[in-house]
């Protein structure tokens, strides 16, 4: 007897044999048992999820010699012939190869005639979206007024291409992708029944590679059985699929977390000897990053699968949450652009080095996560953390600032209302002399703030406040801006004053000059940090790269 593929051998013959799609099965079973049968059914979904299988089971339910029911006998002549594809009243059509209107008209010419053997004449049209517009028009006339002995079972992977006039005349059922766990359980049952030895990890790899398709899973199982000579080992299946093992993904993420560029490149070199699918390798790495990010906010989500669970906990403690988010985003974008690289390996290496070269901006607030995730966000790292240059604060620390007028004012006694006419305590002349601190308590914005920042305090003579304006900012001395500055200083002192500004060289630094000096210092520190960073040095050594100083920006608060 010739060998039959597993996908055909294990094709379900009844609704009870189906794996998944309970929402579709329940609706069809109830319709059959209650004898509420529609004349046209449309099954949609991706490849291999059971569209034509459910259609054939429904054809058996309609034509079983024991009567219409949701449980066909499977042994009568009609059931046997439908299973073998020889039932004369089940007309299966591949719309992808019969798109012409003449083909459709020829097919529908016999609709008016009664079935030869069965109870119903069933038209099963696969990939119905491939029909031409004229073919749809020909089909539509029959769908509008079908004979009572005809049932239409339509299947498609792209229902959006069907005319709405056809969709409105069918009962639609959307079949879902099957979860990995469900496919894995089915594969375990099949390997046991077929006496095929298989490691759990090997079946898991096949279930993941099937991407929700049970037919693809059984086809891959067939291929793996031939590749592995009947004994499915995890490493052999990975080699067949071109995927990387969990240990390699763990090594890559550990090197990323520690900022070890040389270890990262060495791991890629070892990986390249196995001729992997680098797109799948990025998927494996992104999956590990995702598991780690989830573990930081919900430790109960960690599943102990060999060393994987321990590694996920380790990374959740040591890698900041914002770094994980950046790794994941770079992996997704890198996979999209991988085909543009000169070779898959170079593209993969550059994606990993990009993860090292870039860092998220400093966060000022801990992410909304568990305490451990907050600790991970501030954990020290020997590699990438050296690239972060923490800027010096432009203004004085909060503890060093003088309290605001509102803070200095004593609160009124309990139960005694504050007099409306009581004057609010303001800045003193001595406090105004500390020009940097005084500006913090003034309501100045925009160009008026720039005018004040480019001034140096001089003196107070009665109602006149004398300031010295840096001559490089002479363009700011306008009547409008001086009026806003006079108003802000008057409110600060609690009395009306006049502003007198002289232009020239300031004896001490103005707030603007001090800010410029500190920014220059931060830039120099950032450039020095980048030039001495071991990861950057490794990239320069490996690729003969140079650092563009104009591209370096210090991190701001």
CATH classification at residue 209: 1.10.8.60
**Quick one: pLDDT band at residue 544, thresholds 50, 70, 90?**
confident
- 132 and 217 co-located in one domain: no
pLDDT tens-digit series, residues 183-214: 999 999 999 998 899 888 889 889 888 888 99
- Of 222, 241, 260, which marks where a domain is finished? 241
Token pair of 486, please? 């006079």
Tell me what pLDDT residue 416 has.
41
Residue 302: inside a domain? yes
The CATH number of the domain holding residue 120 is 3.40.50.300
Same domain for 524 and 378:
no
Nearest to 526 by CA among 502, 495, 549, 543: 549
Domain span at residue 191 reads: 180-241
Residue 265 domain-assigned (yes or no): yes
Per the CB < 8 A criterion, the answer to whether 511 and 436 are in contact is yes
What distance, in Å, lies between the first and last C-alpha atoms of the chain? Answer: 75
Both 130 and 155 in one domain: the answer is yes
Banded pLDDT at 387 (limits 50, 70, 90): very low
Q: Which helix (H) or strand (E) holds 40?
A: strand 40-44
Tally of structural domains, the chain:
4
Residue 325 sits in the same domain as residue 351:
yes
Q: Is the pLDDT of residue 335 over 60?
A: yes
- If asked whether residues 456 and 557 sit together in one domain, one would say yes
CATH number of the structural domain spanning residue 525:
3.30.300.150
DSSP H or E stretch at residue 513? helix 511-532
Task: Please say if the pLDDT value at position 315 is more than 80.
Answer: yes
Give the Cα separation of 406 and 483 in Å (integer): 25
Q: What are phi and psi of 319, to 5 degrees?
A: -105, 125
Who wins on pLDDT, 288 or 361? 288
Beta carbons of 47 and 217 less than 8 angstroms apart? no
CA of 207: how far to CAs of 49, 137, 200, 244, 323, in Å?
13, 41, 11, 15, 30
399 in a structural domain: no
Cβ-Cβ contacts under 8 Å for 396 (sequence gap 6 or more): 436, 437
253 and 296 assigned to the same domain: yes
What is the full DSSP assignment across 84-147? HT--TTEEEEETTT--SHHHHHHHHTTTTSPPSSSSSEEEEEETGGGS-HHHHHHHHHHHHS--
This prediction has a pTM of: 0.54
400 lies in some domain: no
**Beta bridge partner(s), residue 468:** 456, 502
274 and 368 in a single domain? The answer is yes
In a domain, 149, yes or no: yes
| Same domain membership, residue 208 and residue 159 | no
pLDDT given at position 407: 41
Q: Is residue 398 part of a domain?
A: no
Residue 123 backbone phi and psi in degrees, to 5: -105, 115
Q: Tell me whether residue 363 is in a domain.
A: yes
The residue from 387, 410, 441 where one domain ends is 387
Mean pLDDT over 94-109 rounds to 75
Residue 421 lies in a domain: no
pLDDT in tens, 423-465: 444 778 888 888 888 888 887 887 888 899 999 998 888 889 9
pLDDT digits (tens, 9 = 90+) for 214-239: 999 999 998 898 888 878 888 888 77
Same domain, 233 and 332: no
- Residues 451 and 479 both lie in one domain: yes
Q: Which CATH number goes with the domain that contains 301? A: 1.20.272.10
Q: Are residues 31 and 155 in the same domain?
A: yes
Both 253 and 378 in a single domain?
A: yes
Last residue of a domain, one of 221, 241, 261: 241
């Amino acid at each position: 007897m010739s060998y039959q593929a597993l996908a055909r051998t294990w094709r379900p013959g009844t609704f009870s044999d189906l794996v998944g799609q309970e929402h579709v099965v329940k609706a069809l079973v109830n319709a059959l048992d209650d004898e509420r049968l529609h004349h046209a059914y449309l099954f949609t979904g991706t490849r291999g999820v059971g569209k034509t299988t459910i259609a054939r089971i429904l054809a058996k339910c309609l034509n079983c010699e024991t009567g219409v029911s949701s449980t066909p006998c499977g042994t009568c002549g009609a059931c046997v012939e439908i299973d073998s594809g020889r039932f004369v009243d089940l007309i299966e059509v591949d719309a992808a190869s019969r798109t012409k209107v003449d083909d459709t008209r020829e097919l529908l010419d016999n609709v008016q005639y009664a079935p030869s053997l069965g109870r119903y004449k069933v038209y099963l049209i696969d990939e119905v979206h491939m029909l031409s517009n004229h073919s749809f028009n020909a089909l539509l006339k029959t769908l509008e007024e079908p004979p009572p002995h005809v049932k239409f079972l339509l299947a498609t992977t792209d229902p959006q291409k069907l005319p709405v006039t056809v969709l409105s005349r069918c009962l639609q059922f959307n079949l879902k992708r099957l979860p990995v766990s469900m496919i894995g359980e089915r594969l375990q049952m099949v390997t046991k029944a077929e006496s095929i030895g298989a490691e759990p990890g090997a079946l898991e790899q096949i279930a993941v590679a099937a991407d929700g398709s049970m037919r693809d899973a059984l086809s891959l199982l067939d291929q793996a059985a031939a590749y592995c000579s009947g004994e499915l080992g995890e490493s052999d299946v990975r080699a067949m699929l071109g995927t990387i093992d969990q240990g390699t993904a763990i090594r890559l993420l550990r090197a990323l977390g520690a900022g070890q560029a040389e270890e990262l490149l060495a791991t890629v070199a070892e990986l390249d000897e196995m001729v992997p699918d680098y797109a799948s390798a990025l998927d494996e790495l992104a999956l590990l990053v995702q598991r780690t990010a989830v573990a930081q906010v919900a430790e109960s989500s960690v599943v102990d699968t060999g060393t994987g669970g321990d590694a996920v906990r380790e990374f959740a403690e040591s890698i900041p949450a914002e770094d994980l988010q950046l790794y994941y985003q770079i992996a997704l974008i890198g996979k999209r652009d991988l085909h543009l690289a000169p070779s898959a390996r170079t593209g993969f290496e550059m994606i990993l080095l990009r993860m090292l070269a870039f860092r998220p901006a400093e966060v000022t607030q801990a992410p909304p996560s568990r305490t451990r995730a907050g600790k991970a966000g501030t954990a020290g790292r020997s590699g990438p953390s050296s690239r972060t240059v923490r800027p010096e604060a432009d203004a004085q620390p909060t503890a060093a600032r003088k309290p605001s007028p509102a803070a200095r004012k004593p609160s009124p006694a309990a139960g005694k209302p504050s007099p409306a006419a009581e004057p609010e305590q303001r800045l003193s002349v001595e406090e105004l002399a500390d020009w940097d601190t005084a500006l913090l308590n003034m309501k100045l914005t925009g160009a008026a703030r720039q005018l004040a920042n480019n001034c140096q305090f001089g003196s107070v003579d009665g109602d006149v406040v004398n300031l010295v304006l840096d001559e490089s900012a002479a363009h700011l001395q306008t009547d409008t801006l001086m009026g806003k500055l006079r108003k802000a200083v008057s409110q600060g002192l609690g009395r009306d004053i006049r502003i007198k500004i002289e232009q020239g060289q300031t004896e001490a630094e103005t707030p603007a000059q001090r800010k410029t000096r500190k920014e220059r210092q931060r830039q120099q520190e950032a450039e020095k940090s980048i030039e001495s960073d071991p990861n950057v040095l490794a990239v320069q050594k490996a690729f003969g790269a140079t650092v563009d100083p104009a591209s370096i920006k210090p991190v701001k608060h």
